[in-house]
Amino acid sequence: MIPIVLHYFSNGGAFMAEMLDRMIKDATSGHMQDKKDSEDLTFLSKRLKTKGYEVLDSAPAYLHDNLAYNVMDASVSNLPLRVVLKGLVFLTSSTLKISSWICREVRTDVLFWNNMLESDLCQRQVVVYSTIDKLTDPKKVEEFIVERNERGIDVTVVKFDDTDHVLHMKDHPIEYQEGVVDYVLAGL
């Protein structure tokens, strides 16, 4: 059986994994119109569940309000542009929250987090994170790990105390090799 490893970084990868999980659920429940896509996704699902690993590097990041501000502080050096962008994020976030409240819908941040907690893409995960990461809340990652373990998912943790967001492999190549790559390869 062909093993599959999903290795993703930060929420960019987590959003894709969440979408893949939803697509697989649609395919396996018969809600997908394209039969070939449904067959492919069902095949992928079986491989992920039986011989798959999911490696979450600096993910998932809980979508706190200040997360977008921290991302902008880390990536936009132009102060006036950063102020404008933060204002737009504040307005967008506030509008979405009010809209969710008025329509009595689950907020996007809560929905994303719940989807990550309830995902059954893989039965084995490796979660790589740092206690000083300013973009991925380490306390929420630790809550995620506990919840996933309680759901019967085999979660292996690779924790650093001195690396920034998604820099674990760069700053600790030997530990990353041993804790992630060698560990996953040994389990395949």
Structure confidence at residue 67 (pLDDT): 84
- The closest of 160, 162, 182, 129 to 5, measured between CA atoms, is 182
Q: What is the pTM of this model?
A: 0.88
Mean pLDDT per block of 10 residues along the chain (188 residues) reads: 89 96 91 89 92 95 88 91 93 92 92 95 96 95 97 96 96 95 87
- Contact status, residue 63 vs residue 113, Cβ threshold 8 Å: yes
Q: What is the CA radius of gyration of the chain?
A: 18
